[in-house]
Every structure is written in structure tokens, then in C-alpha cells.
Amino acid sequence: MPKDSSSDSPPAAPVFTAREVLCGASASSGRELVDQLVRLVVSNHDVGGFDAVSAAVRARMEASSVVVAPGVAIPHARIEGLSGTFVAIATVPGGVPFGGEEPPVRLAVLVLTPADAPAGYLRVAAGVARRVSDPGFTDRVCALDTPEKVAAAFGCGEDRPLTGDVTARDLMAPPVTVLHETNSVKDAIDAIVRTGLPEIPVVDKEGDLVGVASARALLRVCVPDYLLWMENLSRFSNFEPFGTILRKESSTWLADIMDDDFASVPADGPAIAVAEALARHGADTCYVVDGARLVGVVALPRFLHNVFRD
């Protein structure tokens, strides 16, 4: 096995050449295609035995979908003892089912990374995402007729093919629910109860992030500081402070109760800034902004999944 990669140095550039490309592949299932890619890497590099590597990739596929965009999958796994990141690519013009309801996958990128190098997969996934976001990229790549052309399309021959710095944009998801500063407290309560989210971003008419409506802020309004100093709360057994809010919820604006201190980072800032912002604010959600405009969110559980499990 290759030497251990537990040092603090950055992961090596992915080993990716035309030898690691299956051009015009065919398979009856995602598992079969993944096994073809694993055999390709195992035959070209010292990454361990086929069975162990295949089992690791299959386990990751069973944990959650590896389809990252329509027709594009990034099966991956962390392997103990790897000396760097290893990549193999398959184009499947006819498509192959990867399970679920997704469209057939026509472009698959296998990524094997050291078990203790969380940036390895994220760097490659970010590089793939940037390429496939170009309209028509997947169609053009699947129409190429040689491994060399496919490799060139993905940057093979560059100093760090397929990789780059991982930014907050690479980790974010679109905001599912957004409130506007003109909404009322009633709207915020309805949204929090309906979605189960602990907090919801608030934007102005330009889409700029101006605050956060949180369950914690609502509780703070209902349970003012003076109640916390009282030893006997029996006279409030009917939840009178909450009744006060209910009577005013339709006429109280979010601007009166929303938090303006929240975790946020620039979309093109380094991904590690997300961790810093979450820790500094003791937050469960970090908001990603382009200038001041809200473009995405990074939930703490998803961030931990990206770093520790992807």
C-alpha cells in the first residue's frame, strides 16, 4: 500500500490521464459502471485490492445518491493509506441508471481520496460541478470519441486538473424558504412551524440578506429577561406572554424581532470560512452571499457530512 498521508501538506494533484478514461462505455447499472472504473484505477495505480475499493465505493453509494447534476454522477470513497487523490472518468452516451428517479447517468467521475484528507473529494467535486454547469458540456464530452479528447476536456495536462480551491459556493444549497422584511411575525411563525427549520433568512426587496427570523428570537420575545429572574412563574401558567404575541402577530413586522447578527460568508470565500463563521456565532446555519444578495445556505449537519464523510 502507498505511504500514509496524515501530514498537513495539501493532497497531491489527482492522478488523471487518458489511461483513466472509459470513452463510450456501456453498463447495465451504476454498480457495474463503477466497478469498471475501479478496475481501471486499480490496474494503473497502487490503491489497494479491487474488492476492498469496490466495496467502499458501493457503501458510499448506498448511503446517499452520488448523482450531482442531471446525467452526472461522482461515485467516491475514502480509502485508508492512499498517497493522493485518484480519478477515473467514464462517458456513457446511452446512459446508465444509478437508482432513484434521476435521469440516466451519461458522465461518471470516480474519486478515491485518502481517508484523512477531506479536501480531496471536495476539490474534484467542485471542479466537476464548475465544468458541468457550462450548458452543453456533458453533451459535448459524451460525443468525444477518444480517451485523450475526454481527458483534455477535463483539463488533463494542466498543473492541477479538475481541482481548485473549495469555496463556500461549492458547499451551499439553495435557500428553501425565505421571508421578506415586509412579512409579519405571523408569517415567520407559520414558516417555522411548517418547515421545521430553526431559522429562516429575511431579505429585502433587492434580495439582500438583512436578518434572520429564528425560533430562538421568537422565544426571546415571549420570555423576556425579567421572567428569567423570577423564582415563581405559576401566575404565567396560561402562557400569557405567548398570548400577547398571538394578539399582535399579524401587526408586528419581522424588522421588530429578527436577528441582525448571523453567520454569513462571501460565496467565493474559502470553505474553511464557513466553519469559522458557524463556530464564532454558535450557529447551525451559515448564509452565503454574493455582495449582500443571499445565494445559498450551509447547514451545520451538511457541512460536517461534507468534511467527515464525503
Which residue, chain included where needed, has cell 483513466? 20
The answer to the question of residue 149 being in a domain is yes
Sheet holding 179-180, edge to edge: 179-180, 199-203, 209-214
The answer to the question of residue 3 being in a domain is no
Whether residue 92 is predicted with pLDDT greater than 80 in this model: the reply is yes
Q: Count of residues for the chain?
A: 310
Q: 51 and 133: one domain?
A: yes
Instruction: Write out pLDDT tens, residues 76-85.
Output: 999 998 888 9
Q: 217 and 80: one domain?
A: no
The answer to the question of residue 111 being in a domain is yes
The answer to the question of residue 96 being in a domain is yes
Whether residue 13 is predicted with pLDDT greater than 60 in this model: the reply is no
What is the per-residue burial (b if ≥16 Cβ within 10 Å, else e) of 210-225?
A: bbbbbbebbeebbeee
- Give the Cα separation of 289 and 9 in Å (integer): 30
Q: 153 and 187: one domain?
A: no
Q: 225 and 129: one domain?
A: no
Going by C-alpha positions, the residue among 24, 22, 34 that lies closest to residue 60 is 34
Q: 108 and 205: one domain?
A: no
Cell numbers linked to 254? 419581522
Q: Give residues with Cβ within 8 angstroms of 266, minimum separation 6.
A: 168, 273, 288, 289, 290
Q: 48 and 152: one domain?
A: yes
Domain total of the chain: 2
Q: 211 and 117: one domain?
A: no
pLDDT of residue 4: 41
pLDDT band at residue 174 using 50, 70 and 90 as cut-offs: very high
CATH at residue 103: 3.40.930.10
CATH at residue 201: 3.10.580.10
pLDDT band at residue 240 using 50, 70 and 90 as cut-offs: low
Going by C-alpha positions, the residue among 224, 251, 248 that lies closest to residue 236 is 224
SS percent in the chain: helix, strand, coil, step 5: 40, 25, 40
The answer to the question of residue 170 being in a domain is no
Cell numbers linked to 39? 478496475
What domain range includes position 230?
179-308
State percent of the chain over pLDDT 90.
59
Whether residue 47 is predicted with pLDDT greater than 60 in this model: the reply is yes
Q: Of 163, 195, 223, which marks where a domain is finished? A: 163
Instruction: Write out pLDDT tens, residues 255-305.
Output: 888 999 999 999 999 999 999 999 999 999 999 999 999 999 999 999 998
Q: 297 and 190: one domain?
A: yes
What is the per-residue burial (b if ≥16 Cβ within 10 Å, else e) of 247-279?
A: eebeebebeebbeeebbbbebebebebbbebbe
Could you write out the three-class secondary structure of 128-163?
HHHHHCCCCHHHHHHCCCCHHHHHHHCCECECCCCC
Phi, psi of 308 (to 5 degrees): -95, -20
Whether residue 246 is predicted with pLDDT greater than 80 in this model: the reply is no
pLDDT of residue 297: 97
pTM: 0.77
Q: Give residues with Cβ within 8 angstroms of 27, minimum separation 6.
A: 33, 36, 92, 96
Q: 205 and 142: one domain?
A: no
Q: 106 and 215: one domain?
A: no
Which residue, chain included where needed, has cell 481541482? 163
User: What is the number of helices (H) and of strands (E) in the chain?
Assistant: 12, 12
The answer to the question of residue 264 being in a domain is yes
The answer to the question of residue 171 being in a domain is no
Q: 126 and 255: one domain?
A: no
Q: Give residues with Cβ within 8 angstroms of 148, minimum separation 6.
A: 18, 21
The answer to the question of residue 168 being in a domain is no
Q: 144 and 209: one domain?
A: no
Which residue, chain included where needed, has cell 420570555? 223
pLDDT band at residue 2 using 50, 70 and 90 as cut-offs: very low
